Each structure stands twice: as structure tokens, then as C-alpha cells.
Amino acid sequence: TPRTRDGKPDLSGLWTPDRNFIYNIESALAKGERLPIQPWAEKLTAERLSKDDPEALCLPTGVPRQAPYPWRIVQTATHVFFLFEGNIHTYRQILLNQPHMPDPDPTWFGDSVAKWEGDTLVVDTIGFNDKFWFDFAGHPHTEKLHVTERFRRPDLGHLEYDVTIDDSGAYTKPFVMHGKSALETSTELMEYICNENNQDVPHITGKDDRR
């Protein structure tokens, strides 16, 4: 595991996406666990079609959803940045050892702060809007959403993370998703502007519910 000068694990690198965080979050649950979704949210998920997916319309993926393209972590002593190739070529800014903004305006990526717990980077995010979908399957959330991500780099080539979703507006209890990414060493982030040549949406007529 690479480490920074202060001895913390260095999470920096170009990482592959985890497909369970793209297509259906139920696939990222521990074996045997069921998604504790409220009836209204389950009904809405079944009604949503892929052509209405905000991500397909070139809007941000939100958290913790990932686009099917590489993403980079840039780690400094005061900030961690997630740089995304996919969709609108955007980023998340995460402040280290700082409090949340008071009463943050609802946004696509929320207000993120982080701290180290041993070798684990714990990212706490609040202040989301309710516009993005959790996955292609259409699982929703509300502005009550609170996301806690725990990132670990057990060795040079792998990143592991657990993501706790706490949203009493759409789910009956918090639940945990498990993800992993591999280090990319043979490519770089490319500029990808989704709405520059977005030809797929008119041809999407059904529902993408891959598991």
C-alpha cells in the first residue's frame, strides 16, 4: 500500500468503476440481504424507464452511483478530489478534518467532509438534492439522504469501499453497499462531454434492470 509522508495510505490513482454501483444497487448488498425500500419508492422504481434516467440525460450521477468510465482520486493534506471521466467530466471535492457547511443547499454531489480512522478514509456527505437515481434500475432517494463512505487501499492495485445509505424518506433503515475498484495503469482520463453528441436517449424505450 503506498503511503504519504504523514504515513496515511495514499488513495491516489486511476480506478475502474464497480458495475454494481452502476446498474442495480441491490447487487452491492451483502449476500442474503434485501433492500429495505419503502413501498412508495419501490413503486416508483418499477415505473421509471431508462430514457428518463438523469445520468442518460447528461446530468451528474450523484453519490454513490458511478459512471462506467475510469475515475481518479487526487489526495492532498487538506482535500481529496474525485475526478470523473464519465458523463459531464466533473469532480467531487472532499474537505479533510473540516465541519460540514451550515445548512448546505441541496446539490447533486452534496457537501462532503472526511477524516482518517486508522487506514480508512471516512467520507461523510449530506445536503443532497433528490434528482439523481441511485442506479440504472431507478432506485430513488430523498433530500434526507446521508451517505457515509469508507475507503481502504489494502495493496497497490486495489481499492475497497463500504457505503452506508441512510435515508428515512425512502428506506425503512440504513443499509450498506460493498464495492471495489482496480488500479488502471494503461490509460488516462479523457475528456468526455456527454451532451455534445448524446445519440442514445431517443433509442432507449425500456428499462435497464441488469443485476
The pLDDT tens digits of the residues spanning 74-112 come to 999 999 999 999 877 899 999 999 999 999 999 999 999
pLDDT, tens only, 53-67: 999 899 999 999 999
Confidence of residue 208 (pLDDT cuts 50, 70, 90): low
Q: What is the pLDDT of residue 69?
A: 93
By three-state DSSP, how is residue 28 classified? helix
Confidence of residue 194 (pLDDT cuts 50, 70, 90): confident
Task: Answer yes or no: pTM beyond 0.85.
Answer: yes
Adjacent-strand bridge partners of 80: 75, 94
- Burial pattern 41-72, b for ≥16 Cβ within 10 A else e, equals beebbeebebbebbbbeebbbbbbbbbebbbb
Cβ partners under 8 Å of residue 178, min gap 6? 28, 29, 30, 160, 161, 162, 163
Query: In this prediction, what percent of the chain has a pLDDT beyond 90?
Result: 86
Q: What is the pLDDT of residue 201?
A: 77
DSSP character for 99? Answer: P
49: its cell numbers = 424507464
CA–CA dist 6, 179 (Å, integer): 27
Helix (H) or strand (E) holding 39: helix 39-47
Q: Are 180 and 159 in contact (CB under 8 A)?
A: yes
Mean of pLDDT values over 170-187: 97
Give the pairing type, strands 79-84 and 91-96. Answer: antiparallel
